[in-house]
């Protein structure tokens, strides 16, 4: 490694393996000077990567890839305000136990906690809960190093335009070095999971979102059944949790698919029997340990966030087309709800939304996402998850986001030379030229 923290050229691939790149340099800065050197002097385009868990080519570059995981964990904690400044490149799975030492926790988390904080906020990563916003909405201030190497501290009070843009910014404004996050007191959750037929899931979903802290469900294609997961806050003592078997369950669905081939009726009977003997979970534990799961069976994913009134009917259409045309699909379809916020590029900035996520095994084709699923989700007024597969470009995105043009102006102010722009980013922001 060179004095500025650069590795020689090495290949890069994201978590699922559907995005690869050959960056000339991988920079692992240890301090602000290293970072400034990588941003201002190393080969462009410059991209910063967290855990590489996005399915879109957001982090891919043949220039310089920056990784911030060597820049620390929790920098300072204000226990009265329940806020902490943390290394934005730190992984959520390391931040949660560290914050617990201060009696603090993230208000909510997504399905996993492998992501870096900056990667998660940059794509509006969310969990589920009608009253719970995406992680980006918990950010109260940011330190952002721009293309010129200037370190800006931004918040609602200081450069509010940059702040409104940066909280969901796809690494297009600069490198988020540190983030101040609003936390809550550490809390325990009571987790319940159970199986139900699809019509009950759809029929109860809205009322469950109204009454439960966290509620989501997974519909299992070709089964007529799904699994609900609910969490409520509790002061009761933790209970032992049996080992997690989500990966084994997904591989079981794959085996059912492989064995049944085109015998959809046989597959449905087999899965129905399995659901009738499903044993759910009923456990109490720390919030971050129960909210985040392990996902070791690799997949690719499309997720759209839909207006609350349209989400469940779009879900029925998605299920119908998968079960009519795509017997290869076996991964559960995930359905969640997230509260609204005011961030320019947050998919939730005009109110809470229902999210529908469709997955394909990493060795299987995901062309059907674009041919059959995306048209349904777009017709229902959906906005894509920034880190998950979609086909939208500047024209369609600027129709979906009232502040998209304003965001692009801030991007142009902070990075006038397009140092952070790859060809993919240019398609998103309507910038001409291939480099």
> Residue 42: exposed, middle, or buried by beta-carbon count in 10 A (0-12, 13-18, 19+)?
buried
Residue 87 binding ligand FAD, by CB under 6 A: no
The set of residues, in sequence order, having a beta carbon less than 8 Å from that of 264 and lying 6+ positions away, is 222, 323, 327
Nearer to ligand FAD among residue 250 and residue 284 (C-beta): 250
- Binding ligand FAD by CB under 6 A: which of 19, 54, 133, 136? 54
Residue 115 binding ligand FAD, by CB under 6 A: yes
Please, what is the minimum distance in Å from the beta carbon of residue 51 to ligand FAD? 3
Best CA proximity match to 388, nearest among 357, 365, 344: 357
Residue 120 binding ligand FAD, by CB under 6 A: yes
SS3 410: helix
Nearer to ligand FAD among residue 56 and residue 223 (C-beta): 56
Residue 291 binding ligand FAD, by CB under 6 A: no
- Binding ligand FAD by CB under 6 A: which of 112, 189, 230, 253? 112
Nearer to ligand FAD among residue 126 and residue 426 (C-beta): 126
Residue 49 binding ligand FAD, by CB under 6 A: yes
Residue 410 binding ligand FAD, by CB under 6 A: no
CA distances from 135 to 113, 288, 341 (A): 12, 13, 10
Nearer to ligand FAD among residue 118 and residue 322 (C-beta): 118
Residue 37 binding ligand FAD, by CB under 6 A: no
Within residues 177-236, the interface with ligand FAD by CB under 6 A covers none
| Peptide bond just before 45 cis, omega within 30 deg | yes
List the beta bridge partners of residue 48.
Answer: 66
> Residue 243: exposed, middle, or buried by beta-carbon count in 10 A (0-12, 13-18, 19+)?
exposed
Q: What angle do CA 131, 89, 339 make, to 5 degrees?
A: 10
- Two tokens, residue 101: 């030492």
CA distances from 424 to 45, 48, 391 (A): 11, 14, 11
- Binding ligand FAD by CB under 6 A: which of 6, 28, 53, 268? 53
Residue 89 binding ligand FAD, by CB under 6 A: yes
- Binding ligand FAD by CB under 6 A: which of 18, 19, 61, 123? 123
Q: Which residues bind ligand FAD (CB under 6 A)?
A: 15, 47-54, 58-59, 68, 88-89, 110-112, 115-116, 118-120, 122-123, 125-126, 170-171, 175-176, 295, 385, 387
């Amino acid at each position: 490694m060179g004095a500025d923290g650069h590795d020689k050229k090495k290949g890069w691939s994201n978590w699922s393996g559907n995005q690869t790149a050959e960056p000339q340099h991988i920079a692992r800065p240890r301090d602000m000077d290293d970072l400034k050197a990588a941003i201002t002097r190393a080969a462009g385009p410059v991209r910063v990567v967290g855990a590489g868990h996005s399915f879109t080519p957001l982090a891919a570059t043949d220039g310089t890839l920056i990784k911030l995981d060597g820049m620390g964990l929790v920098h300072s904690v204000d226990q009265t305000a329940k806020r902490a400044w943390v290394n934005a490149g730190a992984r959520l799975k390391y931040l949660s136990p560290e914050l617990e030492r201060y009696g603090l926790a993230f208000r909510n988390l997504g399905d996993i906690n492998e992501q870096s904080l900056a990667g998660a906020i940059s794509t509006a990563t969310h969990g589920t809960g009608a009253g719970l916003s995406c992680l980006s909405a918990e950010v109260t201030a940011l330190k952002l190093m721009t293309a010129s190497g200037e370190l800006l501290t931004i918040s609602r009070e200081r450069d509010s335009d940059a702040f409104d843009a940066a909280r969901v910014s796809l690494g297009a404004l600069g490198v988020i070095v540190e983030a101040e996050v609003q936390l809550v007191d550490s809390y325990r959750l009571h987790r319940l999971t159970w199986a139900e037929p699809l019509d009950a899931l759809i029929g109860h979903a809205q009322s469950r979102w109204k009454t439960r802290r966290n509620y989501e469900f997974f519909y299992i294609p070709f089964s007529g059944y799904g699994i609900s997961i609910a969490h409520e806050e509790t002061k009761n003592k933790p209970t032992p949790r049996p080992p997690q078997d989500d990966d084994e369950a997904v591989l079981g669905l794959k085996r059912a698919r492989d064995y049944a081939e085109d015998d959809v009726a046989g597959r449905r009977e087999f899965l129905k029997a399995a659901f009738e003997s499903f044993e759910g979970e009923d456990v109490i534990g720390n919030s971050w340990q129960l909210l985040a799961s392990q996902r070791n069976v690799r997949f690719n994913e499309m997720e759209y966030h839909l207006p609350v009134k349209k989400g469940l009917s779009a879900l029925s259409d998605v299920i119908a087309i998968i079960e009519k045309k795509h017997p290869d699909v076996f991964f559960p379809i995930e359905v969640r709800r997230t509260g609204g916020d005011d961030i320019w590029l947050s998919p939730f900035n005009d109110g809470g939304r229902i999210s529908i996520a469709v997955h394909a095994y990493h060795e299987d084709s995901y062309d059907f996402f674009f041919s059959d699923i995306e048209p349904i989700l777009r017709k229902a007024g959906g906005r894509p998850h920034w880190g998950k597969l979609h086909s939208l470009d500047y024209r369609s995105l600027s129709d979906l986001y009232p502040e998209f043009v304003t965001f692009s102006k801030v991007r142009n102010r902070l990075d006038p030379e397009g140092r952070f722009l790859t060809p993919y980013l240019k398609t998103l922001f309507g910038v001409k030229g291939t480099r």
